[in-house]
Structure 1
Amino acid sequence: MNPSTAGARVLLDELVRLGVRELVLCPGSRSAPLAYAAHDLDAAGRLRLHVRVDERSAAFLALGLAKTSRRPAAVVTTSGTAVANLHPAVLEAHHGAVPLLLLTADRPPELRGVGANQATVQPGVFGDTVRLALELETPADPDRQAPAWRTAAARAVAAATGALGGAGTAGPVHLDLPYRDPLAPGALAVDPHPALAGRPDDAPWVTLPAPPAVLDGAAAPLAHDPRTLVVVGELPTAEHRAAALAWADHHGAHVIAEPGPGTSRLVLPHGDLLLAATDWVGEHLPSRVVVVGRPTLGRAVPALTRTPGLRVEVVTSGEPGADGWADAAHTAAAVHPFAALRTDGEGQAPTPFAREWLAAGEAVAAALAPTGDHLDGPAVARAAHEAVPDGAALFLGSSSVARDLGHGVARVRDAVEVVTSRGLAGIDGCVSTAVGLALSRSGPTVAVLGDLTFLHDANGLLVGPDEPRPDLTIVVVDDDGGSIFTTLEYGADELAGPMRRLFTTPTGTDIEVLCAAHGVPATTATSAEQLSALVARPSEGIRVVRVPVDGAARREAGRLARETVVAALGGRD
């Protein structure tokens, strides 16, 4: 066969042998060899092909396919600006430790730097945000090159999955693939080199080790301290979060946790809101705060870690992204590897100190218990959370929605898997990520997104008639803009003049009409009862439920919630 066809087929064949089962393809000419190879693998049932017209959405779709499955998903593009459109998802995968394979077709070296159409410098385009970047040799002599193509596939999967370093080191990998004409499949050659066919019995060319378990590795166990508060932030996998919560349970330590999979009896309800009662917290200070992962929601936890005399220790999950370990407040006195959360011996009952905080958490939960049917951001998150079926995934968009669940729900249900994209916490690509998440699971999936988050990735609704379609319900909290900014300093009365235009940026978009243009059914819910009924009903394909709320009321609602918490804990701020 012609060299370009051979190069593409060998590479994709080897990736499938190594466990890749999902590939997202964007149309293009230079990537034609990869497109034909992917089509044939899809027809043979060896992988599932998804075709998208927007590279940015395609990359986030691949990210969603890999996010909880932890199996690397691939995205294929042609050369030029198509490659640059992958960068937002690359950054999210980098900081969120999501295994992502970027297969970018390229012009051969002789067509670079000479004014050739759609040619730019692609090798190194993602800088240090990829775990591995390889430019494969331009196919010319398949008999000689095939072993190197298969080895490159193994290196790519090992780096993307963290097979040699642990799940915390998983992330994006870039393979730049130059192809010369002819790009369409040609006639089969006679007596090809054995490497073109691969190892017998579909075995991989290089057998890789399984990624180490999250607690593998040598490390001194983190010591017990009866006055420890544990903070669980963003972590790469559900296994990391489970290990963090298990360590807290074992030591009887109470936990402030960001939304995520898994629950614990020691997670404080509305934990970050409890920290608003600064007088009470000051009278019940821990001697040590153990931060596991990256806190990403709000300023309460960083403010606590700046308390003079408070010892802060950080547990890192490997090398997540470029951050090393999470210490934005620059207060950490010690850093521990994740294996330090290994538990030995008999566990502790909740310490007396933890019981004081847990009692305070119950008082806060009682004071914030919902009354009436008024819909705001926390009420929408609460209604969706309570209505999703057991075994469902609940995907939360970035910005306000990720906070709304913690403010609206005292404790996450054991039977609901909460998923967020908090690697960089961008609002871009969330529709596509939710679609990918839904396609990677067998159970129901519900996404709750703000209106700007939804509109920013409206192209995620572009799913062609021949493509696999997920069963996904998208709940859009429509406050006609970014109401989260009203809760920050920009929302002060004296800055009200430019606030709307510069920060909340209302669009006036009719979401139901937009969905209709994509052939996606959409409806509006105006009560918690309506919303619950719609979310509880199984979805066939993608559907959208719009919930209008008053964004202007968010700042005042937040102030009243903080006052309620303070009053519940003694009435002094």
Structure 2
Amino acid sequence: MNPSTALARVVVDELWRCGVREAVLAPGSRNAALAFALHAADARGRIRLHVRVDERTAGFLALGLAKAGRRPVPVVCTSGTAAANLHPAVLEANHAGIPLLVLTADRPPELRGVGASQTTDQLKLYGDAVRLFHEVGVPERRPGQNAYWRELVGRATAAARGFRDRNPGPVHLNFAFRDPLVPEPTDPVDLEDPRLRDDWPESLAGRSGHGRWTRIERVSTEHIAWLEEGPRTVVVAGDGTDAQARWLAETAGWPLLAEPSSGARSGPNALGPYRLLLDTGPDLEAGIERVVVHGWPTLSRPVTRLLARPDVEIVVVSRRPSWPDAGHQAYRVTTTAALEGTVEGAGRREPDEWLAAWLAADRAARAAVDDVLAEEPEFTGLHVAREVAGVLPEGGLLVAGSSNPIRDLDLAAAPWGNRLVDESGRIDPRNHRRVLSNRGLAGIDGTLSTAIGAALVHRSGPAYALVGDLTFLHDANALVRGPYEARPDLTIVVVNDDGGGIFSTLEQGGPDHAEAFERIFGTPHGVDLGSLAAATHTPFTRATNGAELRGALSRSRGLRVVEVPVDRSRTRDLHARLREAVAAAAYDGVR
């Protein structure tokens, strides 16, 4: 089976699983794979196919089917002006709130902009009139495609139905197809046909039975998705979460893997260097059967790999129309989740064997990290992150840069002991340390301005920023302020390793790339940060060890810069020693 046929048949199968029962086709060449797949689904009695020779007519026919049937209806066309002729129906569906699925075929990227026939710019062709647009990657014969295609269809049909915002409307998926565009006569129609097991590098079937790839629950602030007790579960809390993730972990008795900017990295179930445990833990990662995801976890590859495992049930808790599922494995998406039998305000469940094993491994891993850092002769970014986290009081604010600083906090800073609720049983933000980071796109730009803005409205305690030198230089103009502007109380700690230290921990930092590394990744700059601060009349201090840093952090009035110079040449070796130490300690911790 060629990739175009595989994509088309998987998409049509998942549309049927998501409740699509009618489809409209306008004939063409580039959309041939979808046409054959819809014809096969019609022959099997799954989706009734309607064919129209004019795209404008086809669009409004699909609109009428969706409006009367109250189900999403796809309309499929070829590239070029065919796609443009669907625009009137898209506009009507937008203003009327009709769940129209616009599936346009397109040329692959190498045929765009070079004068190829029937090729124009179809990216976001309908502008803001659609609830979701996605450029579907050119199908390839490799693992991971089935999950991507099926999860995308679930996301698209959910957006068309108005999941979360209760604002149904049109959705646009643009499919780039390469030749061949038609199936072979011997290609299996059934995606569970045994012949496909040898022909394709992964199963192209959906979930067991007739289940959708992603089960999506309608938004309701009162609704709780009750989770059964059986599977061994961990809670992952990414950026932008809240105390709900911690509440779930404690009431259910599950380990909590919380990023620093999640708002949930506290309490007895929160783990410290969890990403090292996922990499090296004694069968703990392999034993995970379910993950409940809150927020946007983006910091570590071990968590990313966990969320992409096909043998793990992924439950996503999100109130946003776009939910995180980079591994395309989410089975259930809901707004609130709780363990069956628990109620709001329920206390912490005592650790069972599953949680106790994680907590024992975590204690051993924290001790191992402490020992390695204590033996390290040089002051490093990990030491700085631990010191800054250690001085942050309840009610304090910390804004972390999106490169090494937030990851150093994640690895070296122990979870805080914040109370979940106050004496009245309510969550009081004044009792909690707040960690913010620009993790939406994880860029380094604008971080100082973000920190200054956050500090200007922060009222419950001191405010700090922890950034790298490149992040600082990228937004140094934030220190420029006029005489009439408000002055924040903010201490900016700059870990200065004279370049891009994070790259030394990645593949390009290995010995095979040493010759080119400094110029194109290390990028030393040699900037005197003290002189730069002086140019803007910003108070400046340099700290070279823990005692000097703690002294500098104790003076928190006004806007100040504290530079901590470190040597990035040792970073890769230090992280390797941490992994080895945690691997050995974690095994000892659970024996």
> Shorter-chain TM-score category?
0.5 to 0.7
Which of the numbers 391, 396, 402 marks the counterpart of 1:398? Answer: 402
Aligned counterparts of 1:390 and 1:547: Cα–Cα separation in 2: 25
Are 2:315 and 1:310 aligned? no
Corresponding residue for residue 292 of structure 2: 290
Provide the residue aligned with 2:442 in structure 1.
Answer: 425
Aligned to 2:457: 440
Give the stretch that moved more between structures: 243-252 or 367-376: 367-376
Q: Distance between the aligned counterparts of 2:333 and 2:314, measured in 1?
A: 11
User: Cα offset for 1:341?
Assistant: 4.3
> For residues 489 and 129 of structure 1, do their structure 2 counterparts lie closer, same or farther at Cα, with a shift above 3 Å needed?
farther
Matched, 1:340 2:345: no
Change (3 A) 1:326 1:129: farther
Cα shift at 1:401? 0.4
Following superposition, the deviation at residue 386 of structure 1 comes to: 1.4
Deviations 1:253-273 (A, max 9, x none): 111110033412101121112
Contact 1:288 1:313 in 2 (8 A): yes
| Separation in structure 2 between the aligned mates of residue 545 and residue 130 of structure 1, nearest angstrom | 47
What is the aligned partner in structure 2 of residue 488 from structure 1?
Answer: 506
Q: Give deviations 1:125-179, integer Å, cap 9, x for gaps.
A: xx76999xxxxxxxxxxxxxxxxxxxxxxxxxxxxxxxx959xxxxxxxxxxxxx
CA contact (8 A) 2:309 2:329 kept: no
Aligned counterparts of 1:489 and 1:551: Cα–Cα separation in 2: 15
Correspondence for 2:243: 242
Q: CA deviation at 1:215?
A: 7.9
Q: What amino acid does structure 1 have at the position aligned with 2:326?
A: A
Give the deviation of 1:416 after TM superposition: 2.6
Contact 1:232 1:256 in 2 (8 A): yes
Aligned 8 A contact 1:293 1:317 in 2: no
How far apart, in 1, do the equivalents of 2:511 and 2:440 lie?
32
| Structure 1 residue 310 displacement after superposition | 2.2
From 219, 225, 228, the counterpart of 1:220 = 225
Equivalences, count: 359
Look up the SS of the partner of 2:350 in the other structure: coil
Rounded to whole Å, the distance in 2 between the matches of 1:215 and 1:538 is 43
- 1:418-448 Cα distance to aligned partner (Å, 9 max, x none): 2222111110000000000100112210000
CA distance in 2, matches of 1:130, 1:363: 51
Answer yes or no: is 1:462 the counterpart of 2:480: yes
Partner of 1:98: none
Instruction: Work out the CA distance in 1 between the residues paired with 2:579 and 2:478.
Output: 36
Residues 377-430 of structure 1 show CA distances to partners (whole Å, capped at 9, x for unaligned) of: 110011111123442111111110000012111223535322222111110000
The answer for the alignment partner of 2:235 in structure 1 is 230
Whether 1:499 and 2:517 are equivalent positions in the alignment is yes
Q: Helix, strand or coil for the counterpart of 1:265?
A: coil
* Correspondence for 1:368: 369
How far has the Cα of 1:522 moved from its partner? Answer: 0.9
Alpha-carbon distance change, 130 to 433 in structure 1, aligned in 2, over 3 angstroms: farther
Amino acid of the structure 2 residue aligned with 1:567: A
Q: 1:329 aligns with which of 302, 327, 345?
A: 327
Note closer, same or farther for the CA distance 1:439–1:278 as it changes in structure 2 (3 Å cut): same
Q: Structure 1 residues 497, 444: closer, same or farther in 2, change over 3 A?
A: same
In structure 1, C-alpha distance between the alignment counterparts of 2:523 and 2:585, rounded to whole Å? 36
Q: SS at the partner of 2:284?
A: helix
CA distance in 2, matches of 1:256, 1:571: 21
Compared CA separation, residues 496 and 275, structure 1 to 2 (3 A): same
Q: Which segment is superposed worse, 259-268 or 471-480? A: 259-268
1:277 aligns with 2:280: yes
For 2:582, give the aligned amino acid.
V
More displaced stretch, 335-344 vs 225-234: 335-344
Residue identity in the other structure for 2:444: I
Change (3 A) 1:440 1:565: same
Higher relative contact order (CA 8 A, sep 6+): 1
| Contact 1:251–1:350, Cα closer than 8 Å, also in 2 | no
Q: For residues 500 and 299 of structure 2, what CA distance do their matches in structure 1 show?
A: 16
Aligned partner of residue 569 in structure 1, secondary structure: helix
Checking the alignment, whether the CA contact within 8 Å between 2:464 and 2:490 is kept in structure 1 is yes
Distance 1:446 1:243 in 2: 25
Does the CA contact (< 8 Å) of 1:226 and 1:351 recur in 2?
A: no
- Determine the C-alpha separation between the residues in 2 that align with 1:288 and 1:463: 50
Instruction: Say yes or no: does 1:527 pair with 2:539.
Output: no
* Cα distance in 2, alignment partners of residues 482 and 392 from structure 1: 29
CA distance in 1, matches of 2:454, 2:564: 22
Task: State the shift of 1:451 in Å.
Answer: 0.3
Counterpart CA distance in 1 for 2:293 and 2:230 is: 14
Query: C-alpha displacement at 1:472, in angstroms?
Result: 0.7
CA distance in 2, matches of 1:215, 1:523: 51
Q: 1:546 aligned to 2:551? A: no
Aligned residues of 2:226 and 2:338 also touching (Cα < 8 A): yes
Q: 2:550 corresponds to which letter in structure 1?
A: S
- Displacement after TM superposition at 1:520 (Å): 0.6
* Residue of 255, 260, 269 corresponding to 1:266: 269
Distance 1:563 1:257 in 2: 22
Q: Say whether residues 1:451 and 2:469 are aligned partners.
A: yes
Q: Aligned equivalents of 2:257 and 2:393: distance in 1? A: 26
Could you tell me whether the CA contact under 8 Å between 2:227 and 2:338 is conserved in 1? yes
Whether the 8 Å CA contact 1:449–1:476 is kept in 2: the answer is yes
**Contact residue 267 and residue 416 of structure 2 kept, 8 A:** no
Say if 2:531 is the partner of 1:513.
Answer: yes
Runs (5+) with no aligned partner, structure 2 = 1-123, 132-163, 167-218, 419-431
Q: Which amino acid aligns with 1:233?
A: G
SS of the equivalent of 2:260 reads coil
Q: Equivalent pairs: percent with the same residue? A: 41
Cα distance change on mapping 1:302 and 1:253 into 2, 3 Å: same
| Structure 2 contact 362–586 (Cα < 8 Å) conserved | no
1 CA distance for matches of 2:553 and 2:484?
A: 26
- Tell which structure's C-alpha radius of gyration is larger: 2
Q: Residues 413, 465 of structure 1: CA spacing in aligned structure 2 closer, same or farther, 3 A cutoff? A: farther
In the alignment, the residues of structure 2 paired with residue 309 and residue 471 of structure 1 have an alpha-carbon distance, to the nearest angstrom, of: 49
1:229-265, Cα deviation, whole Å (9 max, x unpaired): 1111112xxxx42011101111011111100334121
Check whether the contact 2:298–2:304 (CA below 8 A) recurs between aligned residues: no
Q: Which moved more, 1:340-349 or 1:240-249?
A: 340-349
Match of 1:449, SS state, is strand
* Paired AA for residue 218 in structure 1: H
Q: What amino acid sits opposite 2:439 in the alignment?
A: R
- What is the 5 A alignment of 1:144-155? none
1:275 CA drift (Å): 1.1
Letter in structure 2 aligned against 1:328: A
Residue identity matched to 1:331: Q
Alpha-carbon shift at residue 452 of structure 1 (Å):
0.3
* 1:233/1:292 contact within 8 Å kept: yes
Q: Give secondary structure in 1 for the equivalent of 2:297.
A: coil
CA distance in 2, matches of 1:276, 1:269: 14
Q: Offset at 1:569?
A: 2.2
1:374 shift after superposition = 3.7
- Three-state SS of the structure 1 residue aligned to 2:526 is coil
Q: Secondary structure at the match of 2:374?
A: coil
Counterpart check, 1:383 vs 2:387: yes
User: Please, what is the CA RMSD of the aligned residues?
Assistant: 2.8
Deviation at residue 278 of structure 1 after TM alignment: 5.3
Partner Cα separation in structure 2 for residue 130 and residue 375 of structure 1: 52
